[in-house]
Structure 1
Amino acid sequence: MNIKKLLVLITLLVPSTYAAAQVSNAEKDSLYIKEVEESKEPVKVLHAEPLYIDLIRDLGARKGEKEWNLGFGLTDNLEFDSYEALVEYEWAPVDRLGLEVEVPLTFYSPLNGVSRDSIPSNEINSLKIAAQGSFFVSEPLATSMALGYINEFELSPFRSFGKPLITGNVYNPFFVIAKRWGNNYHSLIYTGPVFEQHFETNKIHTSYDVNTSFHYMITGTKNFLGVELNKTFNDGDFDMTVRPQMRVGIADNLLVGIVAGIPVSRENERFSSFLRLIWEPKHHEN
């Protein structure tokens, strides 16, 4: 009698054990990818977003998505340290379109022996408004593309604040293409010209940015490790900063990103660091 009961128990357990093994194998696929992509419209592909030069909104944004960012940075220059801060809000009013408003600030501290009058003045750098539209989203190719535009109203420094209030304008159209390789590896190119117009002289200065990034996203999480390569071509000059980075989820909808900056060919800048807090309120679908 006991043997029969044992055989029945084994028979019942074997399918359960097999199913558990199947679940374990399925967990090799990223749970986060499934959360973003499965059973939702319109189609959206998960991509790792760089932390320093971030996107206006996720590629393939869905209506109702929104996000708050707080950023804090420190840059070691030859004659002074600069402390950066930013407040940023981004949202998707309709599918595929992201909008953003950002206010960056910079404060400067002279190094020993350097006069404060010889360094830049503390300032609210600008008021940035931006839009980004995803025009290609392919799940089979795990690829997304977008066009965007940033308009930056440059403000006067605190030493002469309001005289005038707006000192110039920056026009920055850009193109983004991102590709996910398998479940965990991500690459992205963010590139475009930057036209800086100074109202006092009415001259326009042109440079060109090419920002590339590569990330490894840890399976089943929102965490990743990666690197940004921020490159600028400017009047025959070339500047590049390598930014190794990591992102860690500290709550269901709260992330922290940590970035280091290593200049490769910058004459006046040394090492830098940057911290980004990302809060994404719950997205209630219609």
Structure 2
Amino acid sequence: MILIFHFISFSAQVENENEYKDSIYITEVEDSHEPFKVLHAEPLYIDLIRDLGARKGEREWNLGMGLIDNNKFDKYEALVEYEWAPINRLGLEVELPFSIYSSADSPGTKLNGLKLAAQYTFLVSEASSTSMALGYIHEFEMTEFKNYGKGKFFTGNVFNPFFVAAKRWGNNFHTLLYTGPVVHQSFGSSSSHTSWEINSNFHYMIAGTRNFIGVEFNKSIHSGDFDMTIRPQMRVGITDNTMVGIVTGIPLNREDQRFSSFLRLIYEPKHKSTGS
């Protein structure tokens, strides 16, 4: 009986300590001496331009590497990404995404394009732990490496306005919706094609840390065709300002591809407070 009492007492103590650690970490992010910001877990594959409610001076570097097992050939992905907040609540981003192929009968290896993006958080609600944002991504598509000097360097544009809504439930549970149309317009063509991207996310942040486990549901609708890839994922802190994200992709139907994997290295330089 005494052992049971001590076990219950110890369990309650651990739970209280974890709640305390969670409160400390959330307070660090939602510092009342700066413009208020709600802590949200950010998805790892389709990530945000900057944290929702970004504060002036925040910066982040991302390096990403991935493998997609297609039915006919493998595709390797890589990206370099820099994001920053020039003013409160506005995030900007520059990204260079690469596609690399090893098979002779596959598309040519290339720098996909130059991606420029902006995201503004127009709602930050302390009472409901909710944030909402509007954003826009513009990509200047580029030709394959083998075609450099043989024709057009830029081959088209991709237009992608989007909407983000996120809510934290208590200290640990996070949900997020990221959605909008993606319009591809090739140079020399009067037609364009549009798909709708609907990305819903659920994450659980480990008590007292920035580590989380979760899942993305990346859905796409194009010409009546529906595709979805389920992406279980986890994020682990390495140092105070460096984290690594690990993602697995499982397509709902396997028309074009099978499983995929993705690794994201995140480096966030320390942010100096700018005051309110």
**TM-score scaled to structure 1, two decimals?**
0.88
1:29 to partner: Cα distance: 3.4
User: Which amino acid letter does the alignment assign opposite residue 191 of structure 1?
Assistant: T
Aligned to 1:259: 247
Tell me how far apart the structure 2 counterparts of residues 185 and 255 of structure 1 sit (CA, whole Å). 19
1:119 is paired with a residue whose SS is coil
Structure 2 runs not aligned, ≥5 long: 1-12
Aligned to 2:28: 35
Aligned to 1:46: 39
- Given that 2:180 and 2:197 are in contact with CA atoms closer than 8 Å, whether structure 1 keeps it comes out as yes
1:205 is paired with a residue whose SS is strand
- Given that 1:239 and 1:266 are in contact with CA atoms closer than 8 Å, whether structure 2 keeps it comes out as no
Superposed, 1:173-184 pairs within 5 Å as: 173-184=161-172
C-alpha distance after superposition, 1:195-223 (max 9, x if no partner): 10011323211110000000000111000
1:25 to partner: Cα distance: 7.4
1:79 to partner: Cα distance: 1.1
Structure 1 runs not aligned, ≥5 long: 1-19, 111-115
User: Which amino acid letter does the alignment assign opposite residue 143 of structure 1?
Assistant: T
Tell me how far apart the structure 1 counterparts of residues 254 and 33 of structure 2 sit (CA, whole Å). 45
Report whether the alignment pairs 1:135 with 2:122.
yes
Q: How many percent of aligned residue pairs carry the same amino acid?
A: 66
Aligned to 1:191: 179
2:22 is paired with a residue whose SS is coil
- Given that 2:19 and 2:208 are in contact with CA atoms closer than 8 Å, whether structure 1 keeps it comes out as no
Tell me how far apart the structure 2 counterparts of residues 261 and 217 of structure 1 sit (CA, whole Å). 20
1:31 to partner: Cα distance: 3.0
Aligned to 2:231: 243
1:40 to partner: Cα distance: 3.0
Tell me how far apart the structure 2 counterparts of residues 258 and 22 of structure 1 sit (CA, whole Å). 27
Aligned to 1:280, which of 265, 268, 274?
A: 268
1:27 to partner: Cα distance: 1.6
Aligned to 2:58, which of 48, 52, 65?
A: 65
User: Which amino acid letter does the alignment assign opposite residue 270 of structure 1?
Assistant: R
1:23 to partner: Cα distance: 7.6
Aligned to 1:87, which of 80, 98, 101?
A: 80
- The count of aligned residue pairs is 261
2:25 is paired with a residue whose SS is helix
Q: Which has the larger radius of gyration?
A: 1
User: Which amino acid letter does the alignment assign opposite residue 31 of structure 2?
Assistant: E
Q: Following TM superposition, where does structure 1 have runs of at least 4 consecutive aligned residues deviating by more than 6 angstroms?
A: 20-23
Report whether the alignment pairs 1:214 with 2:196.
no
Aligned to 2:112: 125
Aligned to 1:17: none
- Given that 1:31 and 1:219 are in contact with CA atoms closer than 8 Å, whether structure 2 keeps it comes out as no
Aligned to 1:171, which of 153, 159, 174?
A: 159
1:26 to partner: Cα distance: 5.3
C-alpha distance after superposition, 1:61-80 (max 9, x if no partner): 00000000000000000111
**TM-score scaled to structure 2, two decimals?**
0.91
Aligned to 1:203, which of 191, 209, 214?
A: 191
C-alpha distance after superposition, 1:14-36 (max 9, x if no partner): xxxxxx99984752634321210
C-alpha distance after superposition, 1:55-109 (max 9, x if no partner): 0000000000000000000000011111110000000000000000000001112
Aligned to 1:225, which of 213, 224, 229?
A: 213
1:41 to partner: Cα distance: 1.7
- Given that 2:53 and 2:131 are in contact with CA atoms closer than 8 Å, whether structure 1 keeps it comes out as yes
1:219 is paired with a residue whose SS is coil
Aligned to 1:78, which of 71, 79, 85?
A: 71
